Chains A and B, each alone.
Chain A
């Protein structure tokens, strides 16, 4: 039973919108981020392919499993995170192209992204380090903080596109935008877009919201005991999250553009992802210092959730 469709599915999962594409775009975005932030600080900065060097170097290093760690969970967690993140890109329409589509894509994406975060928590807690303990408790609070506005943003979009009902299919959202114009140009969705821009750095674990991995106070938190290939996988997961979150933003709010050709669609998608990275990750990283965990929680549950809620109410009123 080896049909052409099965082969295509393998191709989708392993290469084009799946693992390889997400990893390459993620590492590229991470490299752009480091280069631009260096220029903002009047430095030359590392080459754009630096995250790839980091990844391959970590693959070649010795992987130490601490004596107190649970070996299977410790080494399995980064792989589980990688697999769940590798399939998310299949559900995100790259302008006109969607690999898989169903009726509840948004909900599936929400759960798969959460698995990526939970993998970090499980891996950290299996390492048996007290620093990792502090790190995972902070990571959990961070996840609770950004999940609420994130869900509200998705609901607002679903309501706006659905009209009278909720539409959770990414393909339907992309089609709606192709007809009615991108959602970022509908004024009632602008607060939701702003909220999403603040959710992205928290999801990726970037500067003002990197309380869980604060390397100067709790020695990288959940990652403290990781080394070698397992650490490399976690670094890759972070880069892939960057591609996925900016890609999700692109297809939710700028999904209306069509160029007609596959390769130019992909190029446009990557360029918009890059701009989103520069706006919401690099710039915020360059101008802010790390928040305390309680401030982060308060910020997301009041200000960011308020923005998302405003959009949801406007969408509910039919604007």
Chain B
């Protein structure tokens, strides 16, 4: 009876957990800007969660340094299904200006499945919002796929 309501709710209340994998703090600031009164992501139900266990969407920023790679994989494994992974900025996709460094293991796709990638250095808050919203819609699809 509640199946449909639960599926619908999956898209309406996506909680975000943010992982910084060696980012320069630029993308982190823009992600926080999404929650400010000007962009107000909370009107779609977005909320910053304090722990990966509460999260639906994991936001990754930064070029995946060697030190943070292991932690990134472990943190994402702690997130309960259905979950989405969103990368913010060019760094997690390609390594950006840090490419070629001995301590950067850039394309994050090698280690985790990425659902939505928002490019830019740094992307505008509007772009991040769109990426997050697309991830929220994906959550509903993933939830529907769970009981098949």
Contacts and interface: CB of A to CB of B under 8 A. Distances in A.
Interface of A: 34, 38, 41-46, 50, 52-57, 59-64, 215-216, 219-220, 223-228, 231
A27 B7 CA distance: 19
Interface in B1-21: 2, 5-10, 12-13
A61 B81 contact: yes
A66 B12 CA distance: 27
A56 B2 contact: yes
A220 B40 contact: no
A52 B45 CA distance: 11
Contacts of A52: 9
B46 to A, nearest CB: 9
B44 to A, nearest CB: 8
Contact of A57 (B9, B49, B51, B81): B9
Most A CB atoms within 10 A — which of B2, B13, B56?
B13
User: Size band of the B side of the interface?
Assistant: 20 to 34
A45 B40 contact: yes
A200 B81 CA distance: 35
Nearest to B40: A43
Interface string B68-95: 0000000000101110000000000000
B6 A227 contact: no
Contact of A54 (B45, B48, B53): B45
27 contacts: A38-B42, A43-B37, A43-B43, A44-B40, A46-B43, A46-B44, A46-B45, A50-B12, A53-B12, A54-B13, A56-B9, A57-B13, A59-B2, A59-B6, A60-B7, A60-B10, A61-B81, A62-B81, A64-B78, A215-B48, A215-B51, A220-B50, A220-B51, A223-B51, A223-B54, A228-B80, A231-B53
Contact of B54 (A44, A53, A220): A220
Contacts, number: 88
B49 A215 contact: yes
A224 B54 CA distance: 8
A223 B51 CA distance: 9
A64 B6 contact: no
Nearest to A129: B51
A56 B6 contact: yes
A46 B53 contact: no
B35 to A, nearest CB: 9
Contacts of A62: 80-82
A219 B42 contact: no
Nearest to A61: B80
Given A63-B80, A64-B80, A223-B51, 12 more contacts: A45-B42, A53-B12, A54-B9, A57-B12, A59-B2, A60-B7, A60-B143, A61-B82, A62-B81, A215-B49, A219-B51, A225-B53
A53 B13 contact: yes
